[in-house]
Structure 1
Amino acid sequence: MRSRPRTRTVVLLVSLVGAVALSGTALAHGGSLRSSPARSLSIPLWLFLATGGGVVGASFLLASFVTDRAFIRSVEEYRRSVSLSETVVRGLVVVGRAVGVLGLVAVVGVGLFGPREPLANLAVLVVWVAWWAGFTMTTYTLGNTWPVLNPWRTIASVLPSLDRPYPERVGAWPAVAGLLGLIWLEVVSPLADAPRLLAGVVVAYTVVTLAGAVYLGTDRYFERVDPVSRVFRYYGAVAPLYRDDDGRLRFRIPGTGLESETLVDSRSEVAFVVALLWVTSYDGLVATPPWGDVLRPLVGLGAPAALLYPLALVAGFALFLVLFRVAVRRGRESAESYLDVDLLARRFAPSLLAIAAGYHLAHYLGYFVELLPTLLGVLTAPLSPPAPRAIVLPVWFDGFELAFVLLGHLVAIWVAHAVAYDLFPSRMQAIRSQYALTAVMVFYTMTSLWIVSRPYAAPPFV
């Protein structure tokens, strides 16, 4: 990730927050911040999943036989400049950095010394509702402002640096391990219910991050090692707003940034993209009743629950990665191409980011809207917050969640289609190269839809 400050700043997040402040409230959930209304499908589950998978398959056929290279190129190359004066840019950057640092201080301070109730504590609401739900959504729907808002990067920029070299052979594997570790910690520990514990984890993360930045240098650490920065960098490639190589703010058709040849440039970065896709599914999977139905008998037979959670996390990641690489290899064989498998994996992997973004939006939009009044109330009085209140979402809102899952997969199909036309000289080669990948995407679609369609159930034994 480049060190040049981005102009897409916290103003975008504030605008989003204001836009969804609606009426119709009720008491919020107690205890856990996780909330998802129970769903009951009016059609058989198999038909629901088959329909979702069929939509993705049909979109592949439509893209394959209706589009041509000229049309794809016109979509890829569509760009428009966004004008902002340098004075405004510098002002927004200063404000964004200040907001990031003050937010970090508030999370630690209020987390340690504020109210113990999670829905009354600013730290819990800022981390889970404002940041991981609300802000993350802006990174793929608007643009990546994290390089400006990142409080650890701002602090590290004024610290001395040893500027030690980073071993190239290590690649992005520390970021992969860091992402899996953070998701495991989020699932198995009561971080959403225990403000003191959350503040302690944030302090520990701060110490590790600043130590790494001092050792390697700010730019190198946040570009190569930090998993959070890498998540937002990749999500930012889905967004319509971005900075070009000359530092100009530009607009593009959403998703076309995923077609870049340099976005993913190693096996380890392919693994990180797959990990990001998997953890969005894993986070939802462990909060479904079937997960508990599988886990309880295993624990009853003597299997330690503390081991089953990380085992499932790593096994699912390995499965998703193997499926993707097998699909790429089979696609190469179907296209009768001599292109390197690793090259094909690097070029096709970014398409999975659209799926991850769509699932994140489906998973967290309702959660964010529900708890927005509580967040705004606590922001006005962090040490003596009002009673928590939440928006009651109508039943039809579930349709948006399912639509977002499908939309992410449809964008992924388009990106893979455009990349295939860029890689292969023959039209039929390009189409055949996507057969296996489309099949895997259909599997991903049906998995995501199944998870989203399940009612929420607290993960057992944690």
Structure 2
Amino acid sequence: MYRRGARALGVVVGLAAICGVALAHGGTLRDATQQELAVPTWLFLSTGGAVVGASFLLASFVTDRAFVAAVHGWTRRLPAPRRLLAWVGRVAGLVGFVGVVVTGLFGPSDSLRNAAIMLVWVGWWAGLVMATYLVGNAWPAVDPFRTLTRPVARVAPEPIRDLSPGRAAWTSAVFLLVLVWVEVVSPLAEDPPLLATAALGYLAVATVGVLAVGHGEWFDRVDPLARLFRTYGAVAPVQRTEDGLRLRLPAARLTDSIVSTPGDVAFVVALLWGTTFDGLVATPAWASLARVVVPLGVPALVLYPAALFVGFLGFHRLYWWSAHAARETAPTYTDARTLAVRFVPSLLAIAAGYHLAHYLVYFLSLSPALVGALLAPLNPPTARTLVLPGWLSAVGVAAVLLGHLLAIWVAHGTAYDQFPGRLQAIRSQYPLTAVMILYTMASLWIVGQPEVTPPFL
């Protein structure tokens, strides 16, 4: 699977070389939303690590299994016209896709006035993703690629090959990392025609995927966008079940067995690292490092993907270390693979918290420009952005901490579900808590840095 990932990366390297000048997805959008955190770095880093550590100690005092199970198992049915909502979502997705293509090809060249740029980066990647983990996952209904490829599935119902669940998940993880890299190094937020072409290109990839493995297999297991939204949706309070929509406490579903293979573990880690990498390359520290390394002979087109995949491997191996270490601290005869699969959903709360920290101010600042571009897509008014109060930058810190606190509680509930002994359940969380503290410190450090344009791209 790593060999396939290398082939896919080689293809994208060629595409990126053709793109020319590259910018991270923020580009001028980032320049319009910059804010700096008015808190000393040492203070919020040490405080953040201490808060996560203290939350683990407090959670350790909750040893009543019935209470823990009742909290995570609480649910209420939500009456909703599912068919109507699905139909509305499908129409909205198709209209949005056509709008991206048309306004990308024929709309204004100014990023802040182009409806394609604003809809994709502000409305979709920031707004819809935030709504997915804050409310619920509507992407299966909205997804235009799923809708547009249904006729292909009817014409060619027999897939070319079958993929095992683990291999499909690994493929999805590699695809996600490639998409993150393309997002960072390509001028998709500066070039509307290129963005429209990329949307059509992704539709072509989805069509090939449906022909290769089948419509259901592609969108249920392989497609990185569908898996990303489904994975983030597990954090949300509104969950879709066989008997309709149900309300649960935020992140409560993460204690369920929502992943089943090491490939699923890789995708969750890739999701967490992808958002981290997106923020990392926009920090002054990364800019300084790149300005040292590139003149030494390391091309930027090698440095950026190398950092992406090395960072992923570091996050991946660090998490697997915690799974192996848990067998010693617990102790237990349960193998590390089972523990890794069982506990990895807790990381999704961290990923959601960091995404919220990374994009909330971005979304709020650019929302007036988004509305203006959508109301008059081919001739929008002069773009405006909101000037937000400085204290709002602290919301990012709060989001990161809240995500980690939820992750601690999810891991606590999972441990009590997995292990028969109370002390065993508590001790099993030691290594994972240590890893979470490291993730917290890294996330808070990135959130606290002023954003700069990545150099040499």
Structure 2 partner of 1:191: 188
Q: TM-score, normalised by structure 1?
A: 0.90
**Counterpart in the other structure of 1:116:** 109
Task: Verify: 1:393 aligned to 2:388, yes or no.
Answer: yes
Could you tell me which residue of structure 2 aligns to residue 213 of structure 1? 210
1:339: how far off? 0.3
Alpha-carbon deviation of 1:406? 0.4
Q: Distance in 1 between matches of 2:83 and 2:430?
A: 48
How far off its partner does 1:318 sit? 0.3
Measured against aligned partners, the alpha-carbon deviations of 1:389-429 in whole angstroms (never above 9, x if no partner) come to 01111011011111000000000000001000111111110
> 1:74 maps to which residue?
70
Decide whether the 8 Å contact of 1:161 with 1:216 is kept in 2.
no
Please point out which of 36, 53, 58 is paired with 1:57: 53
- Superposed CA offset, 1:294-326 (max 9, x none): 110111111111100000000000000010000
Aligned match of 2:403 = 408
- Residue in structure 2 matched with residue 104 of structure 1 by the alignment: 97
Q: Distance in 2 between matches of 1:234 and 1:151?
A: 19
What is the CA–CA distance in structure 2 between the aligned matches of 1:132 and 1:302, rounded to whole Å? 34
Amino acid at match of 2:364: V
Q: Which runs of 5+ in 2 are unaligned?
A: 1-25
Residue of structure 2 aligned with 1:238, choices 235, 239, 250:
235
Secondary structure of the corresponding residue to residue 158 of structure 1? helix
CA distance in 2, matches of 1:105, 1:454: 37
* Deviation by residue 1:167-203 (Cα, 9 ceiling, x = unmatched): 2162311111110000100101111111011111111
Gaps of 5+ in 1: 1-29
2:386, 2:38 → 1: CA distance? Answer: 23
- The one-letter amino acid paired with 1:369 is L
Matches within 5 A, 1:401-440: 401-440=396-435
Distance 1:409 1:31 in 2: 29
Alpha carbons 2:37, 2:393 under 8 Å: kept: no
Q: In 1, distance between residues paired with 2:27 and 2:323?
A: 44
Q: TM-score, normalised by structure 2?
A: 0.91
Q: Which residue of 2 aligns with 1:145?
A: 138
1:133 aligns to 2:126 (yes or no): yes
CA contact (8 A) 2:27 2:453 kept: no
Contact 1:162 1:215 in 2 (8 A): no
Match of 1:201 among 198, 202, 210: 198
- 1:345: which partner in 2? 340
* Higher deviation after alignment, 99-108 or 442-451: 99-108
* Letter of the 1:198 counterpart: L
What amino acid is aligned across from residue 141 of structure 2 in structure 1? V
Letter in 1 for 2:103: V
CA contact (8 A) 2:37 2:394 kept: no
Partner SS state of residue 29, structure 2: coil
Shift of residue 67, structure 1, vs aligned partner: 4.2
* Deviation sequence 1:234-273 (CA, Å, 0-9, x none): 11100011122x3321100010111112x11101110000
- Which of 171, 176, 180 aligns to 1:179? It is 176
Task: Kindly state the Cα deviation for residue 47 of structure 1 after the two structures are TM-superposed.
Answer: 2.8
* Deviation for aligned residue 1:40: 4.8
Amino acid at match of 2:125: W
Match of 1:333 in 2: 328
| One-letter amino acid matched to 1:371 | L
CA distance in 1, matches of 2:451, 2:323: 34
Deviation of 1:293 (Å): 0.5
Residues of 2 paired with 1:363 and 1:375: CA distance? 18
Local SS of the residue matching 2:282? coil
Q: Deviations along 1:373-403, whole A, 9 cap, x unmatched?
A: 0010111111111000011110110111110
Output the CA distance in 2 between the equivalents of 1:31 and 1:320.
27
Judge conservation of contact 2:234–2:251 (CA < 8 Å) in 1.
Answer: yes
Q: Does 1:290 align with 2:285?
A: yes
> Counterpart in 2 of 1:15?
none
Aligned twin of 2:222: 225
What SS class does the counterpart of residue 377 from structure 2 fall into? Answer: coil
Give SS of 1:312's match. Answer: helix
Residue by residue over 1:19-53, the C-alpha shift from the partner in whole angstroms, topping out at 9 and shown as x without a partner, is: xxxxxxxxxxx96212443425443x223211100
Counterpart-to-counterpart distance in 2, 1:148 and 1:71: 35
